[in-house]
Structure 1
Amino acid sequence: MGRPAKVRALWRWTGYLAVATVFAIACGFLSNWQVNRLHEKEHIQNLITSNWDADPLPLAEVVPTAGAFEASREYQPVTMAGEYLADEQVLVRNRPRSGQPGFEVITPLKLDSGLIFMVDRGWVPTGSAQDLPDHVPAPPEGEVSVTARLKPGEPELPGRSAGNGQIATVHLPDLASRVDGESYTAAYGLLMSEHPAPAEARPLPALQPEINEGMHLSYAIQWVLFAVLAFAFLGYAARQEYLAHNADDPKVRAKLEKREQRRRERKTDADAEDEILDSVL
């Protein structure tokens, strides 16, 4: 191989190496992304495990200001007292449960402090003949003591509309604009219990979330293997080209002959029979 040909080959293999390196870096980022997704799900599961059945605390102790909420407090049970604003109750659309369409029932609770806290009293199914519940159980009247699990508000969904008395998402600033008075705008509550009990069965309570960790760890390992295979293939291709360009070298020829001999020794009886049949046909 002349000098110009060697220079061209060097540039070509440098390009191959650069492509393999970029591919490996991309695989590394994708693997790290999968690991981060796994850690996020583990964090959520740990949060649920530690907070779901924790002892209830006063709302004012856990959420001291109406506009702030610590993410580590999600699902923490809190207690409060006040009076439901039943006339300001709204339904959250598109909330399936066990494969059945339905609504979440959000009822503002005016606390003894004067602040208003949004309580998700539970789930009701879509009606049999219309896109509305057949019936929404009324909340207790008068002073009521409530225990609920904290949840952060949901983001607004642009372009999503809802009918009168309904909302597309639990966007707390939107809910706050529908009632008179200052409202909590960073957290709301999933109802656990209320006393006195309502006159009729309340909507179905929220289910404890089940977090599926999925295949993130397997995918992370696969991306690492892809990166390793890229360099392994590059090394294999470089060796094959080296052997092809140096086939006349006695040492290289001896290696090729040994490889061919090993390949022949690995032939099975079935391979031998196939060769015989091919020679006859």
Structure 2
Amino acid sequence: MPERWRFVLISLAALIGIAVTLSLGRWQLQRAGYKQALFEAVQRQQRQPPWDNAQLAAGLAGPAVQASPAPWLHRPVQLHGHWIGAQTLYLDNRQMQGQPGFFVLTPLRLAPPHGDVVIVVQRGWVPRNFQERTALPEVHTPEGLVTVEGRMQAAPSRLYEFGGRAGADPDGQKSRIRQNVDITEWAAASGLPLRDASLLQTGEASEGLRRDWPEATAGVEKHHGYAFQWFGLAALITLLYVWFQIIRRFVRPSRSRS
């Protein structure tokens, strides 16, 4: 291959490499900016005054539930209602502070005049009995009118199920242990008017439940790290090209001839 064409091909490859790595670095910065903006929006929502029963019932009514993002998402609430303890479910294989156990879910029916609104509450975490895996831990569910504080979330997060369907449990639906829960199926099976949302209960440990929920973070550090790597690679390609294809090819030979 003629020297001229070799120089052209190397130059073209270097330009493409620099353009690609710069583009990837810029994309990582854009991802970091998007996540930071999303995190700040969540933080602003969580700093809002808490909704009461009437405000939540209005926020969950009509087409607003389908909005993206929903106006109730991450909103603090302070609700009054009654636990439906007989419908409590236990989500299996959930961790808190690195320990495996259950997330306890209990429907909460809002106090009148909003009794037609029933919310799934993620009440907290309990350890499981590894000696008897189907044994349910003891959780106290108060009767009568209760006050529940927390923040609104989407439906409980899902774990991967090997060959199972949504909501399957190890006892073939005979126990209240579930790998995942589908609120629509839960509503159909229980006859409760469950809303397609959940409440993450906050506060100190009580009723046999821990509530050391992880704090949300922006998670932009890894994107900044990836961007630095891509920009560093672009700089490296540039330095290598300048040294081998310009300095060693043109500058040094001209100096040696002089």
Residue number in structure 1 paired with 2:215:
209
Show CA shifts across 1:181-234 (max 9, x none). Answer: 33211x2101237xxxxxx72411253515254343233123112113213312
Do 2:29 and 2:223's aligned partners in 1 also have CA atoms closer than 8 Å? yes
Which region of structure 1 is more displaced relative to structure 2, 77-86 or 113-122? 77-86
Residue number in structure 2 paired with 1:85:
84
Which of 9, 23, 26 is matched with 2:20 structurally? 26
Segments of 4+ moved more than 6 angstroms? none
2:238 counterpart of 1:231: yes
Do 1:121 and 1:202's aligned partners in 2 also have CA atoms closer than 8 Å? no
- Is the alpha carbon distance of 1:11 and 1:184 closer, same or farther for their aligned partners in structure 2, counting shifts above 3 Å? farther
Distance in 1, Cα, partners of 2:104 & 2:156: 15
TM-score, length-normalised on structure 2?
Answer: 0.75
By relative contact order (CA 8 Å, sep 6+), the higher-ranking structure is 2
**1:110: how far off?**
2.9
Residue number in structure 1 paired with 2:29:
35
Structure 1 alignment gaps of length 5 or more: 194-199, 256-281
Show CA shifts across 1:240-266 (max 9, x none). Answer: 66359x95xxx44246xxxxxxxxxxx
Distance in 1, Cα, partners of 2:30 & 2:182: 27
RMSD of aligned Cα (Å): 3.2
Residue number in structure 1 paired with 2:100:
101
Which of 232, 251, 256 is matched with 1:253 structurally? 256
2:62 counterpart of 1:62: no
Q: Which amino acid aligns with 1:146?
A: V
- Is the alpha carbon distance of 1:46 and 1:208 closer, same or farther for their aligned partners in structure 2, counting shifts above 3 Å? farther
Amino-acid identity (%): 22
Residue number in structure 2 paired with 1:190:
200
**1:52: how far off?**
3.6
- Is the alpha carbon distance of 1:99 and 1:159 closer, same or farther for their aligned partners in structure 2, counting shifts above 3 Å? closer
Which of 215, 218, 235 is matched with 2:225 structurally? 218
Which region of structure 1 is more displaced relative to structure 2, 153-162 or 124-133? 153-162
**1:158: how far off?**
5.6
SS at match of 1:236: helix
SS at match of 2:66: coil
Which region of structure 1 is more displaced relative to structure 2, 103-112 or 13-22? 13-22
Q: Which amino acid aligns with 2:93?
A: N
Residue number in structure 2 paired with 1:75:
74
**1:171: how far off?**
4.1
**1:123: how far off?**
0.8
Residue number in structure 2 paired with 1:10:
4
**1:106: how far off?**
0.7
SS at match of 1:108: strand
SS at match of 1:201: coil
Distance in 1, Cα, partners of 2:180 & 2:231: 39
Do 1:92 and 1:167's aligned partners in 2 also have CA atoms closer than 8 Å? yes
Distance in 1, Cα, partners of 2:228 & 2:18: 13
Distance in 2, Cα, partners of 1:26 & 1:136: 57
Do 1:83 and 1:141's aligned partners in 2 also have CA atoms closer than 8 Å? yes
Provide the aligned length of Structure 1 versus Structure 2: 238
**1:45: how far off?**
4.0
Computing the radius of gyration from Cα coordinates, the structure with the larger value is 1
**1:101: how far off?**
0.8
Structure 2 alignment gaps of length 5 or more: none
Do 1:107 and 1:121's aligned partners in 2 also have CA atoms closer than 8 Å? yes
